[in-house]
Chain A
Amino acid sequence: MAAAPLITARGLVKRFGDFAAVAGIDVEVESGESFGFLGPNGAGKSSTMRMIGCVSPPTSGELRIFGLDPVTDGREIRARLGVVPQQDQLDAELTVEENLVVYGRYFDIPRAECRRRAAELLDFVQLTDRAGSKVDPLSGGMKRRVTIARSLINEPSLLLLDEPTTGLDPQARHVLWDRLYRLKQRGVTLVLTTHYMDEAEQLCDRLVVMDGGRIVAEGSPRSLIQQHSTREVLELRYAPGTNEERAHAIADIGDRQEVLPDRVLVYTHDGEAALHEVHERDAAPISSLVRRSSLEDVFLRLTGRTLVD
């Protein structure tokens, strides 16, 4: 028997008054995959996550999680979900272990079993030595790891992560990505939202790009880049206020260009060659950079805006 999708959404809508936070999206997430919602703030990612998390009923459309209907089977679905919310929601005055046990009790897991699982999970997030310390003085990255450990206390097969690394320093992000990658290897399905393209590229097998409550593209990070961008990007920086004028002079170089306030992007299959051509035109920039196309470029192409303003 072919495994049914873990999450199915058809024409999913969430309205708050006149405002449509989610304006009709279709999504399917298979068991074991790692799926992302990429988009800027206000794109409707969190509203979608809250509907999948069964804490916010859909306004219209169809939504099934584990084949169940969130409206009628919300409790059963939530019992099988792990949720890592945008804010850690930890009790700062309690110890790390107590936070896990208290949360486990919400699932009616016996206290002794909660403690046993807490020990195992703190080992997994590399915080065993902090089990007895209060949450308050922990670093942002450590708190996030406590929250991830906490979300696993009910042994969920589906983990929802809302902006899992927002506000963390680069090192803490890498530690977190590593743990999430291990979870994926253990067969846990990951569904995350992010406005970081590097996070999406690191973690997601497949993602949808959201903007204004709608899905504007869908695919693997690699296929999205292939489909919507060139292989390389040449970034040129000119003196402030001269971008437009300079861009005009080199408009025919590369496949396409984007003029941003702080730089000009030239999309091309060969960045070095394009840069050579730019120099030959006497349009030498203050600085330049040749790089691979990323999801940021895909987003820019699809919406005309950058992900992080």
Chain B
Amino acid sequence: MTSSTRNRVGRNRVGTPPAVRVWERSLLLHGRVWKSSLLGSFLQPLLYLAGMGLGVGALVDATTGSPELLGGVSYLAFIAPALLVAAAMMVCAQDSLWPMLDGFIWSEAYKGMAATPLTPGQVSDGIALWHATRAVVTAGGFAIVLVLFDDTRTWGLLAAVPVGVATGLAFALPITAWAATRDGDRSFPAILRFGIIPTFLFAGVFFPIEQLPAAIQPIAMVTPLWHGVELARGAVLGTLSAPAASLHSAVLVAYVFAGAVLCRRAFGRRLGS
């Protein structure tokens, strides 16, 4: 209220980017539970890999014809990179539903942000940045666990992490944009049950999509998860061709870009009308 305090802030100070200032709130809120969250980042992969990779894997690998179908690798090696990407999808999808609605209708935190110099688009960008952070931690934790296994200890893991992040965002941003138009959470369980879970089961994580009926294969191929799975698996197992890599990357980038546009538009309508 006095000019002296105002000067202390300094007019020519290089500020923090707006999206980062929005992101800081999420970080602080998440900071309350970061220990359990970090533990989950390592524990969940270990459980999945032990149960599916080693348990189911022992049966699969003993079956005649499996090695040919899986491209000559163990079942563990086949599903591990895919699970990394799927884990990022799961975390991002969940984060994009109830926590977003909280910002709009329960705590109204996003409305609070819109009353400050932040624009709705900047709020949207900050939330996208947070989704990306969650995806980095999830995919990164998974990658660290995969270093423990001989079959998956390759440099390709370094590429699998950004693929996981892109896949996570390809789900997070459109779902966040949807959540930003909602006044209640009635549709959310259906999104998980009929969208995310079937995608997890049928988009090439647990078996090659060639195993699916021909009519269903194109549906699996439309999902961002399949493109992420193909990229991460190819990178970790060293089986990726340049054209395939370009195609899958382009699809993921397109999903992320379109999602960001949808998100910004949805936030603009919700917070500025």
Q: Give residues in A with beta carbon < 8 Å to B.
A: 53, 55-57, 74-76, 78-79, 81, 83, 85, 87, 89-94, 98, 102-103, 105-110, 113, 117, 154-155, 157, 186-188
> Is the pair B25, A91 in contact by a Cβ cutoff of 8 Å?
yes
Chain A residue nearest to B110 (CB atoms) is: A89
Task: In the A-B complex, list the 4 residue pairs whose CB atoms are closest, starting with the nearest.
Answer: A106-B116, A89-B112, A83-B115, A108-B15
* A55 in contact with B117 given A89-B112, A103-B112 (CB within 8 Å): no
> Is the pair B108, A78 in contact by a Cβ cutoff of 8 Å?
no
Q: How distant is A112 from chain B, measured CB to nearest CB, in Å?
A: 10
Q: How distant is A59 from chain B, measured CB to nearest CB, in Å?
A: 11
Chain B residue nearest to A108 (CB atoms) is: B15
Which DSSP category, helix, strand, loop or mixed, fits chain B's interface?
Answer: helix
Count contacts on B: residues with CB < 8 A to the other chain.
31
Best-surrounded residue of B21, B24, B117 (most CB of chain A within 10 A): B117
A103, B5: Cα distance in complex, Å:
18
Chain B residue nearest to A153 (CB atoms) is: B116
A94, B18: Cα distance in complex, Å:
21
Chain A residue contacts of B5, Cβ below 8 A: 117, 155
> Is the pair A102, B28 in contact by a Cβ cutoff of 8 Å?
yes
> Is the pair B117, A107 in contact by a Cβ cutoff of 8 Å?
yes
**24 interchain pairs, CB-CB under 8 A:** A55-B111, A55-B115, A55-B272, A56-B272, A75-B117, A85-B108, A89-B108, A89-B109, A89-B111, A90-B107, A91-B107, A98-B28, A105-B24, A105-B25, A106-B22, A106-B113, A106-B116, A107-B116, A108-B15, A108-B117, A113-B9, A155-B5, A155-B6, A157-B1
B35 within 8 A of A: no
> Is the pair B21, A85 in contact by a Cβ cutoff of 8 Å?
no
A155, B25: Cα distance in complex, Å:
21
> Is the pair A105, B16 in contact by a Cβ cutoff of 8 Å?
yes
B119 within 8 A of A: yes
A93, B30: Cα distance in complex, Å:
10
Query: B115's contact among A57, A85, A155, A157, by CB below 8 Å, is which?
Result: A85
Query: B25's contact among A81, A102, A188, by CB below 8 Å, is which?
Result: A102
Chain B residue contacts of A81, Cβ below 8 A: 115
A302, B248: Cα distance in complex, Å:
68
Q: How distant is A117 from chain B, measured CB to nearest CB, in Å?
A: 8
Q: How distant is B17 from chain A, measured CB to nearest CB, in Å?
A: 9
Given contacts A105-B16, A106-B116, A108-B15, 15 further A-B pairs with CB under 8 A are: A55-B114, A56-B273, A76-B117, A78-B117, A89-B108, A89-B112, A91-B107, A94-B28, A102-B24, A102-B25, A105-B25, A107-B116, A108-B16, A108-B21, A108-B117
Chain A residue contacts of B8, Cβ below 8 A: 113
